[in-house]
Amino acid sequence: MEERAIRSVIGEQKPIFASAEASVAAAAKLMKRHRIGALLVMKSGRLAGIFTERDALFRVLAEGRDPAKTHLSQVMTLNPRTISPDRPFGHALHLMYEGEFRHVPVVENGQPLGMVSARDALGPDLKQFVADLDTRNHIGEILG
């Protein structure tokens, strides 16, 4: 679970981008269509922030803003923690755990490649983790 490189976790994932000038309504359509919880928000060719479901809830609707007239730049999460694709996935999980967020953009040479989330990565990693534990328990029984 800890060791797999983030590059292999994101695999062939296609990053979903939105412009900082896009409306919240347009962003929500994109998120719904792709069934994702967060978008990478770009400005002048660089990652400026991410827009998450939580931003939609707390910064748009709970604040009474009009989704059609609100730009992502007004409500996105600025300067999110990012991670290099060469880091082990465990580092991303630790970032999420310590920062209490669920999405970490993966950035290489200033270019966003994708996003890791608690969920996306849990599938195969979790299975591997459980398998490792079982093996370790068996070894323990044999040694013990």
Partner 1 sequence: MKLKDVLAAKGSRVVAVSAKSSVADAIRTMRAEKVGAVLVPDAEGCPVGIFTERDVVGLLADGERDLERLPVEAAMTCSIVVGRLSMSVDEALGLMTERRFRHLPLVEEGKLLGLVSIGDLVKVKLEETAQEAQALRAYISS
State the residues that interact with partner 1 by CB under 8 A: 1-2, 24-25, 28-29, 31-33, 35, 37, 53-54, 56-58, 60-62, 67-68, 90, 93-94, 96-97, 100, 102, 118-119, 122-123, 126, 129-130
Q: Output the smallest distance, CB 72 to partner 1, in A.
A: 12
Residue 68 or 78: which CB sits closer to partner 1? 68
Q: Output the smallest distance, CB 70 to partner 1, in A.
A: 10
Q: Output the smallest distance, CB 123 to partner 1, in A.
A: 5
Q: Residue 105 to residues 51, 82, 102: CA-CA distances in angstroms?
A: 11, 5, 10
Taking alpha carbons only, the member of 116, 28, 102 closest to residue 72 is 28
State the Cα–Cα distance between residues 34 and 118, nearest whole angstrom: 17
Contact 29, 6 (CB under 8 A): no
